[in-house]
Structure 1
């Protein structure tokens, strides 16, 4: 096996036939599988040169004839691997995509922490009595809320104007390049991965932007988000929705809780569309006895819980439920569909 770096632009391979009767009459031919599958005559030369091979895996095959012109087509072979540059590897593209998603949240949290440190120090200097302390707390609380709302709006604008627009440039450029039929299949595969990851990141960032916008914190807007998401995902599936009008009207229900419930809802519907083969979905979201209860039922293919290995989709649902200190149960019977139930105790849920 020969392993080369992407910048090893020129290399040669030497060989010889084990026939010494009249070696100057020995003839050679070669082909480089993965680059050109046709045999190429090399005369009586016992060395072949290659230059500027693209990253990938190749197999060099050498055939030889003796002085009587009898060829051994089985010949000999050697595997050649040309490693790509670090910026051309799949792991780099994945790390880049994850960084694009994680950085805005990191920036937001750090700026919020900075604002809170500054406001706390300012309040400590100004408070001189219990009465002044109470008044200052009220004033600072209101100001902090306004600052956070303004900050969320600013981050949402930056995400939309900068990150999403740049991702759109990436997806559009990938589409343009993929339209060129001369592009090699391996490069087309990499371009499709970049395009699909960029589209997925755009969808995730749009959800982030939606929850950053203050006007979307109302009960009506949140319920509307559930209905519109169901309509977008279940386009070819009949569904029956039931969402209680005041389901999110409770002092313990924060934006964080709303977001996690929504993501569990959205990912559950996406899993139904991808895996269940269902033609009907029934879901409900109600508030009862200081609990929020979400139930999602489908009439799809179902599966045997005892012989089913949980995938990323189900594991993600369980993790989100755990973050809320809630209970997520799943029941499924082969041929009879699946039911998912989320129960959230409002006085025990995490407040974020």
Structure 2
């Protein structure tokens, strides 16, 4: 009961807070109708700020109205404030090019007016934008300028910890977690001292993010949940999904994938409603990683594709890198190594361009400059010691610059040597590949010449001799008398056997003359063979069917084509010899079918002959040869037969990729 009462109380407090904000907004809207000039511009800017958290289009509309009203007054400071409001609205909509444009206009006006606080505010906002776009060097430059100005001029004690927290965020993205925690702790102490609940909440959430990167997941969950509760109490619900995303990542890392999945979905829904493309992209990447834990590869890839598309459209460089990296892993886990490899190459190229600036000399110069300015302020009363410190810093800087220059020179020399060696290795590799290719071509040419020579010899010598035998047999038949029918029949058998031998010889020559046999060639030879069988058998109906969608240009090797042809030929000949014995005068049917699936050519030869019992018959050389040919085709010949129901010969030929 106590727990339920506490939950009810928190719900009531949240509703009251939201109502209070709405009341404040309603009050501003009401007041704006009675104002004009500078007061109206200030109220419109404040209304735009409130709408940033609930309706971005309204925030932009009121900021533009503020600009129109400021032009009526012709006061430059009002122009600057209106431009800043428009830029902030575009920034919340993640339309960064427009935000930078209007921030730059505000910056120019404040510079001419020597408005130091206005300059610092704009520099801080520009730092946030460049941070979100992945331009860390430019982001730090803006933040340190803002920090220097606030340190000397700020009347609001919360401005300095705000910038310190922003600097910590940039260092976090570069993996400098010691620097991150240092800046966050400084900011948190100042916010607590100032009793700023919003600042404490934001910084607590940032520390939770740092704990997440340090893999202190339990601490990360605690800080993030505290920050989420703080945002709810303050009525800034649009920042709650930031914390939920951190909690989801931590739960996922602790193996609580089910919990993480639910929290990710909640965060994605909230970021979608808020049109926050930047954080929505980041959360989708984390959710995709969670789904990979469940091996839901296709769903994870779809989420990453969405994240990658938005990252490229909005120029979110760091998220593009993260999406590419996880996408490559997803393709690899799924077994698609080609896509994994191509995505990995894109990842490497993008990483180089993104993080090249992360450790540049400019960052160290900015850090040294800020530290020097801070020392100057803190030790302004000790001029002698300050001078000594500056001299020591200059010496260290000169040493660092010298070492960096030396390292750069050595790196350049090493790179040039590496490039020269790599070019030499590439040339040697190309030469070896060319030699291997030439040897292969020469070998193939020799083999082809050998095939042509053997086929010519078979055709010219053995072919002509067999033709002479047929001619001689025909001559002998004319010399026989009517009483010598038995000899005539024998001569007819010898003639038929010789003609069959010539046909077999022609098939062999056909195969030898080709290095590869297309499916169209094979089908043509089989059609000729089937037509010959149909003409020779009066009571036989032989059907030869081939799938119409088989690619006619599909190529077999010469050996594969001959083996496939011979198995079908031998199966048909065996059926003609044995299947229709003692069934003369009856209609006989035989069917030869070739079908293609994704992985195999399925070949089947069936008849409706007498059949036989496999266990009672000794298989001869013909079937043994068929089995050997099938084995050469990486297949297995299956023979089935039943008395009175015919015989079936089936085998599958694998399809090459």
- What range is the shorter-chain TM-score in? 0.5 to 0.7
Would you say the 8 A contact 2:575–2:607 is kept in 1?
yes
1:223 corresponds to which of 519, 523, 527: 523
Write the distance in 1 (CA, Å) between the matches of 2:528 and 2:498: 23
Residue 168 of structure 1 is matched in structure 2 by 467
Give, in angstroms, the shift of residue 181 of structure 1.
3.7
Distance 1:196 1:220, change over 3 A: closer
Give yes or no for the alignment of 1:267 onto 2:536.
no
RMSD over equivalenced CA pairs, Å = 3.4
Distance 1:139 1:288, change over 3 A: same
Paired residue secondary structure (1:217): strand
1:149 corresponds to which of 444, 448, 451: 448
5+ residue gaps, structure 1:
1-127, 348-352
Residue 599 of structure 2 is matched in structure 1 by 290
Q: Which has the higher contact order (CA 8 A, sep 6+)?
A: 1
Output the TM-score relative to the length of structure 2: 0.30
Write the distance in 2 (CA, Å) between the matches of 1:269 and 1:340: 10
Write the distance in 2 (CA, Å) between the matches of 1:299 and 1:323: 29
Write the distance in 1 (CA, Å) between the matches of 2:551 and 2:612: 31
Would you say the 8 A contact 1:247–1:292 is kept in 2?
no
Would you say the 8 A contact 2:611–2:641 is kept in 1?
yes
Structure having the larger proportion of residues in strand: 1
Residue 24 of structure 1 is matched in structure 2 by none
Residue 209 of structure 1 is matched in structure 2 by 509
Would you say the 8 A contact 2:515–2:557 is kept in 1?
no
Write the distance in 2 (CA, Å) between the matches of 1:191 and 1:263: 27
Write the distance in 2 (CA, Å) between the matches of 1:191 and 1:238: 28
Give, in angstroms, the shift of residue 336 of structure 1.
1.5
Residue 646 of structure 2 is matched in structure 1 by 337
Output the TM-score relative to the length of structure 1: 0.53
Give yes or no for the alignment of 1:138 onto 2:437.
yes
Write the distance in 1 (CA, Å) between the matches of 2:525 and 2:496: 24
Distance 1:232 1:248, change over 3 A: same
2:637 corresponds to which of 328, 337, 342: 328
Distance 1:215 1:325, change over 3 A: closer
Structure having the larger proportion of residues in helix: 2
Would you say the 8 A contact 1:276–1:302 is kept in 2?
yes
Give yes or no for the alignment of 1:233 onto 2:571.
no
Would you say the 8 A contact 1:304–1:334 is kept in 2?
yes
The number of residue pairs the alignment matches comes to 219
Write the distance in 1 (CA, Å) between the matches of 2:490 and 2:484: 10
Distance 1:298 1:287, change over 3 A: same
Moved over 6 A (4+): 182-194
What is the correspondence of 1:73-92 to structure 2 with a 5 Å cutoff?
none
Would you say the 8 A contact 2:518–2:554 is kept in 1?
no
Write the distance in 1 (CA, Å) between the matches of 2:655 and 2:515: 23
Write the distance in 1 (CA, Å) between the matches of 2:494 and 2:543: 36
Residue 85 of structure 1 is matched in structure 2 by none
Write the distance in 1 (CA, Å) between the matches of 2:496 and 2:589: 28
Would you say the 8 A contact 1:303–1:332 is kept in 2?
yes
Distance 1:133 1:287, change over 3 A: same
What is the correspondence of 1:46-85 to structure 2 with a 5 Å cutoff?
none
**Which of structures 1 and 2 has the bigger CA Rg?**
2
Residue 246 of structure 1 is matched in structure 2 by 550
Distance 1:286 1:159, change over 3 A: same
What is the correspondence of 1:85-100 to structure 2 with a 5 Å cutoff?
none
Distance 1:325 1:248, change over 3 A: farther
Would you say the 8 A contact 1:247–1:285 is kept in 2?
no
Deviation digits for residues 81-114 of structure 1 (CA, Å, limit 9, x no counterpart): xxxxxxxxxxxxxxxxxxxxxxxxxxxxxxxxxx
5+ residue gaps, structure 2:
1-426, 581-586
Give, in angstroms, the shift of residue 269 of structure 1.
0.9
Write the distance in 2 (CA, Å) between the matches of 1:344 and 1:300: 26
Distance 1:214 1:313, change over 3 A: closer
Distance 1:187 1:273, change over 3 A: closer
1:300 corresponds to which of 609, 613, 622: 609
